[in-house]
Structures are given as C-alpha cells and as structure tokens.
Amino acid sequence: LPPATTQFLFISNEMQAGQEQHVDILNTRSNAWGQQVLEGVNLELVSLFVVAGIVLIVGHALVAAWLHRRRLKNGGDR
C-alpha cells in the first residue's frame, strides 16, 4: 500500500486495502450511532444522495417546463 494509505490504516487495525479502508473509516467501530447509520450502506448511501439530486433536478425541470408552457398558453411572453 502507498505510505499515506498505510498511515491511515494505522488508525484502525481492522482496515483493509482498497475500498474497505474508506468503508471502515466511515464505519468507525467506536461510535454506535455512527455505526448504525453508516455501517454496510456506504455505497447505497452515496447512491441515495446522488439519486436524490437527480430526482430534484428532473422534478424542477418538469415543473419549470410546465409553468413555461402555461405562461405561453396564457399569452405571456417567452
């Protein structure tokens, strides 16, 4: 492992190479609440926030397009 990674591994003996080091950092064993929130769902958690962003963007785009059409229909300017 690269030196900096090894340094981080020093924090937790349970950390392993690759993605697990990051997973273990988030899943730090020392905090029960934090462990409950983040343990085992890191990939899902990141995906959840990305999907939330996509849903908000698409939702806003649809509402904005609907309002724009409505304005045009009512004789508003472009």
Partner 1 sequence: MAAIDNPAGRVLRHRLADRLFHWVTAAATLVLLFTGFLPVFDVEFDWVTTHWISGLVLTAAVAFHLVRSLGWQRLADMWAWPGEILAAIRASLAPLSGQSSSYRPGKYSVAQVLFHFAGAILILATIVTGLIMLKGIDSPFWERDPYFVSESTRGWLFVIHGLAALVLVTMIMLHIYFAFRPEKMYFTRSMILGWITRQEYLDKHDPGKWKEPLN
Question: What does the binding site for partner 1 look like in residue numbers (CB under 8 A)?
Answer: 2-5, 7-8, 10-11, 17-19, 21-23, 25-26, 28-31, 33-35, 37-38, 42-43, 45-46, 49-50, 52-54, 56-57, 60-61, 64, 67, 70-71, 74, 76
Closest separation in Å from C-beta 78 to partner 1: 11
CB 38 within 8 A of CB 45: yes
Report the distance separating Cα 55 and Cα 60, nearest Å: 8
Which are the contacts of 51, defined by CB distance < 8 A and separation ≥ 6? Answer: none
Closest separation in Å from C-beta 76 to partner 1: 8
